[in-house]
Amino acid sequence: MDCCVCSPMASMYRLPRNSICAACYEGAKAIIAFFNDDDDEQGDADQGSVKSRRGLAKLNSTTKGLRDAWEEVKRMRYREEDAKQRASFLQEGFAAAWKDGIHTDIAVRPGTGPPIKAHMAILAARSEVFRHILAGDDDCKAPAGDSLSLPELTHDELSHLLAFLYTGSLATCTEERHLHALLVAGDKYDVPFLRRACEARLAAGVEAGNVLRTLEVAELSSSAALMERAMETVVEHAEKVVFSPEYEEFAVRNAALCVQITRALLANKTFPAKTP
């Protein structure tokens, strides 16, 4: 039989002769039985039910591989849900302790605005640099005591930084300028997860209007991935970027980046073949 599912010609839809072989038919039954029985099995699991998978048990041995695959998918789904619940439990607990000021033991001072209370243990656990600073290591600053100063950050930027250290996520409404500051902070204070999160968010939003700012922060934070994405955007929108008023000021501040831009544009340019 020329099965419309597993045969080499399955991609061709041929009315009215479409048919499936016995193995594919049994496989389809397995999928239907899996979804039909899934909700019932989950409902009985908490009561210690030993109800068998009726639909799956009736299938013949030709569908054993499919059954095993679906069982593995089901286990993966349960593990994913369990991981999400555990992450949510930890995230909400840490965030609540910070927002409610429960047993905070250090004041983090921004360059502008009032200090924000935090926990030394969280700062030390999230950042190797903070750990050495708070421990008063010789290679770092003096022991922080009951305060820690981060003068390069504004109050809002510090709030976003601490929120990430407690929750492991960036707020959806985080502004681009705050992402820039967080990326630099992630590099300076050795928080790789924060770096990756900021790089991904910024890379997704790179366009001709903000690519020059993105190049500057990518160089400042030594972000190769963001630099590559920004250069691709420059090449894609070369005329709009290079002839913009912002580019003149950018060139004055960033001679080395302008050299890289020139090389990227030339590498992308197709030159006419030389005549002999």
Q: Are residues 192 and 216 in the same domain?
A: no
Q: Are residues 162 and 216 in the same domain?
A: no
* Of 190, 205, 220, the domain-final residue: 205
* Of 182, 205, 228, the domain-final residue: 205
**Integer-rounded Cα radius of gyration of the chain:** 29
Helices first, then strands: H and E counts in the chain: 13, 3
List CB contacts of 176: < 8 A, sequence separation 6 or more.
Answer: 202, 205, 210, 213
Q: Per residue in 60-91, pLDDT tens? A: 554 566 667 777 888 888 888 888 787 777 67
- Percent of the chain scored above 90 by pLDDT? 47
**What confidence score (pLDDT) does residue 145 get?**
62
How much is the pTM? 0.66
Q: Are residues 129 and 92 in the same domain?
A: yes
Q: Are residues 201 and 213 in the same domain?
A: no
For 140, the 3-state DSSP assignment is coil
Question: How many domains does the structure of the chain reveal?
Answer: 2
CB 161 within 8 A of CB 182: yes
Q: Are residues 223 and 257 in the same domain?
A: yes
**What confidence score (pLDDT) does residue 15 get?**
52
Q: Which helix (H) or strand (E) holds 30?
A: helix 22-45
Q: Are residues 132 and 245 in the same domain?
A: no
Q: Are residues 114 and 217 in the same domain?
A: no
Which residue range(s) make up the domain with 253?
206-269
Do you find a cis peptide bond into 16, omega within 30 degrees of 0? yes
For residue 254, being part of any structural domain is answered with yes
For residue 132, being part of any structural domain is answered with yes
Domain harbouring 212, CATH code: 1.25.40.420
| CA separation for the pair 40, 57 (Å, rounded) | 15
For residue 180, being part of any structural domain is answered with yes
* Of 174, 205, 236, the domain-final residue: 205
| CA separation for the pair 160, 178 (Å, rounded) | 8
CB 64 within 8 A of CB 87: no
Q: Are residues 154 and 121 in the same domain?
A: yes
Q: Are residues 87 and 192 in the same domain?
A: yes
| CA separation for the pair 203, 223 (Å, rounded) | 11
For residue 246, being part of any structural domain is answered with yes
- Percent of the chain scored above 70 by pLDDT? 75
Q: Are residues 149 and 172 in the same domain?
A: yes
Residues of the chain where predicted confidence (pLDDT) is lower than 50: 10, 39, 45-56, 59, 62, 142, 271, 273-274
Query: Which segments of the chain are extended strands (E)?
Result: 106-110, 116-118, 147-150
- The three-state DSSP-derived secondary structure of 67-109 is HHHHHHHHHHHHHHHHHHHHHHHHHHHHHHHHHCCCCCCEEEE
